[in-house]
Amino acid sequence: MTETLAIGPFSPPEREALTAQFGCTLLAGPGDLARLSEDARAAIRAVAYKGHHPFGAAQMDMLPGLGIVANFGVGYDAIDVAAASERGVKVTNTPDVLNDDVADIAVALLLMTGRRMVQASDWARSGNWAERGEFPLNRKVSGGKAGILGLGRIGREIADRLAAFKMDIHYWARSEKDTPGWTYHDDPVALAEAVDYLIVALVGGPDTAGMVSRQVIRALGPRGILVNISRGSVVDEEALLHALESGVLAGAGLDVFLNEPKINPRFYALDTVTVQPHQGSGTVETRAAMAKLQRDNIAAFLSGGPLLTAVN
Amino acid sequence: MTETLAIGPFSPPEREALTAQFGCTLLAGPGDLARLSEDARAAIRAVAYKGHHPFGAAQMDMLPGLGIVANFGVGYDAIDVAAASERGVKVTNTPDVLNDDVADIAVALLLMTGRRMVQASDWARSGNWAERGEFPLNRKVSGGKAGILGLGRIGREIADRLAAFKMDIHYWARSEKDTPGWTYHDDPVALAEAVDYLIVALVGGPDTAGMVSRQVIRALGPRGILVNISRGSVVDEEALLHALESGVLAGAGLDVFLNEPKINPRFYALDTVTVQPHQGSGTVETRAAMAKLQRDNIAAFLSGGPLLTAVN
């Protein structure tokens, strides 16, 4: 009986590789666990997980032999790590391999929002650029002050790129870090007050929920641009929508939202927002690297070797 | 009688500043020169120029007292500099102040084309992201090989930014330059062969017309992305359209075109192209700096002082 279970919306090549390597059983989501027989569930030692549906104590208790949940993605907020640790279940994720792609999207979102590039694309493609005349002037992006909220591995990649755009780099993190002259702020509101652009690169989960609060958004101010490539949960989305609708904030570039993919339709009406469909790590190269790291963690566990990227 | 003439589509604040400083006469384009009386034309010593209509020997000969044509923009290919030199007319442009903005658009065009961000925006804004599912995977941009065709001031700004995206920088220029380890190619085809992305930062005018030839485009190849922020004239546009339509080239990010703003409508049908309405320097901050530099050159000329940014 198979000892590895793949749960979530894996792509065809991902499924194929998991099946080839582990003879996996595939489930579309954790809700399908109940469809497995008790014997089949008892045989499971490893879960390859993908997606944003919660995987917690209830699901783990249906798999009494479970030893590892290997998550596809750096963000593992769908998985209850405390519940896993209590049960002696290891959790792994796929850090680092996606840093470049996510940082690329963050920088592009900032440039596109400041220079209104989606709107400019529509202008040029309208077929009546000649009649409409010159696209309205927008704002210079290079040379501004950038604030990184959460200076982890992805935050650093973003900061390194923005420094090449002649930006002063400011950041908030749980503690001051060793940086090339970047300015530390011990409070997110103080960070937002100091900068023109706030780029959110926090981890998800309960500790960071709503950290981009009404106060942070207000401190960023009417010339401020917010970029979020982390998780929708870190932003008080109601406060963000209100600030954008009322001009309290100049604009936003967002790859992540609450309730993806059924995002709040108020975003559609906002001309100052650049929207992406959570594609931060969505390249062929990076998804293949993430899938391989997930499989390598499972293989390491099953063979008794050390895990590559353990979370707990 | 006024000695300064402003010719071209100046914006209201630009017109106001020119009029306040010089008591300018304003013309919509060089075609309106004939409307001025012979006496009025004879009084003109300086022209503030903007736009892409040719300004050459015929126009200069209508202004027998002309001493300077101060161009708004770094690219002065609309102005016949040889004809100006023959007549002892100085030409100035507005370099440097726009480098950052143009480089920002170049980098954004590359990221947007590689990561298909306009298409992704449509996907997320469609209102049926949930039904359509995950946006199709695209390609990693960071870490690729970038070729800069024309390593002038703007080309260097682009290269400095792309180096922060962990790219190997290659370039072509008329001669090898002092660089931080970038690779020189003495031929545009060889440059295109060596790289994944070709970013065109040439000056316009007859010397560079069609330099991005069918051979260059073919050398860039089916994984290649072309970015052009310089002038439409430097690209063999028929070859580019054909290459994009037939998959000989992966994609293009274009801020400039032949026959702007009446661009070839075949571009609209191409899903692999990111289009911008020639907005490279189109920010409030930079256009104000360009306008000031143009006025400063005229003021320097009229007062007999040295020109700030002379071309000839």
pLDDT in tens, B141-167: 999 999 999 999 999 999 999 999 999
DSSP B175: S
CB contact under 8 A, A287 and B115: no
Q: What is residue B200's predicted lDDT score, i.e. its pLDDT?
A: 98
Q: Do B8 and B23 belong to one domain? A: yes
CB contacts, 8 Å: A123 with chain B: 277
Catalytic residue of the set A185, A278, A287, A295: A278
Q: Do A106 and A93 belong to one domain? A: no
In a domain, A233, yes or no: yes
Q: Do A179 and A163 belong to one domain? A: yes
- Which chain A residue shows the shortest CA-CA distance from B139? A283
- Asked if residue B2 has pLDDT above 90, the reply is no
In a domain, A32, yes or no: yes
In a domain, B312, yes or no: no
In a domain, A307, yes or no: no
CB atoms within 10 A of CB A246: 9
Q: Do B202 and B136 belong to one domain? A: yes
In a domain, A104, yes or no: yes
CB contact under 8 A, B277 and A127: no
- Asked if residue B201 has pLDDT above 90, the reply is yes
CB contact under 8 A, B117 and A276: yes
Q: Which tens digit of pLDDT belongs to each residue from A268-303? A: 999 999 999 999 999 999 999 999 999 999 999 999
Q: Which tens digit of pLDDT belongs to each residue from A74-94? A: 999 999 999 999 999 999 999
- Three-state secondary structure along chain A? CCCEEEECCCCHHHHHHHHHHHCCEEECCHHHHHHCCHHHHHHCCEEEECCCCCECHHHHHCCCCCCEEEECCCCCCCECHHHHHHCCCEEECCCCCCHHHHHHHHHHHHHHHHCCHHHHHHHHHCCCHHHHCCCCCECCCCCCEEEEECCCHHHHHHHHHHHCCCCEEEEECCCCCCCCCCEEECCHHHHHHHCCEEEECCCCCHHHCCCECHHHHHHHCCCCEEEECCCHHHECHHHHHHHHHHCCCCEEEECCCCCCCCCCHHHHHCCCEEECCCCCCCEHHHHHHHHHHHHHHHHHHHCCCCCCCECC
Mean of the per-residue pLDDT values of chain A: 97
Mean of the per-residue pLDDT values of chain B: 97
Mutation to test the A interface, candidates B275, B281, B284, B287, most A Cβ within 10 Å: B275
- Asked if residue B186 has pLDDT above 70, the reply is yes
Q: Do A60 and A136 belong to one domain? A: no
Q: Which tens digit of pLDDT belongs to each residue from A186-207? A: 999 999 999 999 999 999 999 9
CB contacts, 8 Å: B284 with chain A: 137-140
Q: Do A210 and A289 belong to one domain? A: no
The structural domain count of chain B equals 2
* Both structure tokens of B231: 């002038």
CB contact under 8 A, B268 and A125: yes
- Which chain B residue shows the shortest CA-CA distance from A267? B125
- Asked if residue A6 has pLDDT above 80, the reply is yes
Q: Do B185 and B254 belong to one domain? A: yes
In a domain, B175, yes or no: yes
Burial (CB count within 10 angstroms: exposed 0-12, middle 13-18, buried 19+), residue B293 = buried
- Band of pLDDT at residue B271, cut at 50, 70 and 90: very high
B246: CATH:
3.40.50.720
Q: Which tens digit of pLDDT belongs to each residue from B13-25? A: 999 999 999 999 9
Exposure string of A277-304, with b = 16+ CB inside 10 Å and e = fewer, is bbbbbbbebbbbbbbebbbbbbbbbbee
CB contact under 8 A, A143 and B100: yes
Indicate which residues of B carry an active-site annotation. Answer: 231, 260, 278
Strand partners, A228: A200, A254
Q: Do A200 and A109 belong to one domain? A: yes
In a domain, B130, yes or no: yes
CB contacts, 8 Å: A141 with chain B: 101, 104
Looking at the complex, report in whole angstroms how far the Cα of residue A86 sits from the nearest Cα belonging to chain B: 34
**Strands ordered across the beta sheet of B183-185:** B183-185, B168-172, B145-149, B197-200, B225-228, B251-254, B273-275
- Asked if residue B297 has pLDDT above 80, the reply is yes
Kindly provide the ipTM of the predicted complex, given to two decimals: 0.94
Q: Which tens digit of pLDDT belongs to each residue from B37-84? A: 999 999 999 999 999 999 999 999 999 999 999 999 999 999 999 999
CB contacts, 8 Å: B120 with chain A: 276-277, 279
CB contact under 8 A, A120 and B277: yes
The minimal CB distance from B104 to the residues A127, A142, A267 is found for A142
Q: Which tens digit of pLDDT belongs to each residue from A58-74? A: 999 999 999 999 999 99
Q: Do A163 and A241 belong to one domain? A: yes
In a domain, A247, yes or no: yes
The answer to whether the beta carbons of residues A302 and A296 sit under 8 Å apart is no
Q: What is residue A170's predicted lDDT score, i.e. its pLDDT?
A: 98
- Band of pLDDT at residue A1, cut at 50, 70 and 90: low
CB contact under 8 A, A279 and B161: no
The minimal CB distance from A268 to the residues B127, B139, B142 is found for B127
Q: Which tens digit of pLDDT belongs to each residue from A233-267? A: 999 999 999 999 999 999 999 999 999 999 999 99
Q: Do A204 and A295 belong to one domain? A: no
The minimal CB distance from A129 to the residues B121, B134, B263 is found for B263
Q: What is residue A2's predicted lDDT score, i.e. its pLDDT?
A: 84
In which domain, by residue range, is A78 found? 4-97+284-302
- Mean of pLDDT values over A172-177: 97
Mutation to test the B interface, candidates A11, A109, A115, most B Cβ within 10 Å: A115
Q: What is residue A27's predicted lDDT score, i.e. its pLDDT?
A: 97
CB contact under 8 A, A115 and B104: yes
Q: Do B118 and B264 belong to one domain? A: yes
- Band of pLDDT at residue B1, cut at 50, 70 and 90: low
CB contact under 8 A, A275 and B104: no
Looking at the complex, report in whole angstroms how far the Cα of residue A5 sits from the nearest Cα belonging to chain B: 22
- Band of pLDDT at residue A17, cut at 50, 70 and 90: very high
Peptide bond into A261 cis (omega under 30): yes
Give the residue from B13, B55, B128, B86 showing the smallest Cα distance to B312: B86
Q: Do A120 and A258 belong to one domain? A: yes
Q: Is A278 a catalytic residue?
A: yes
- Asked if residue A152 has pLDDT above 70, the reply is yes
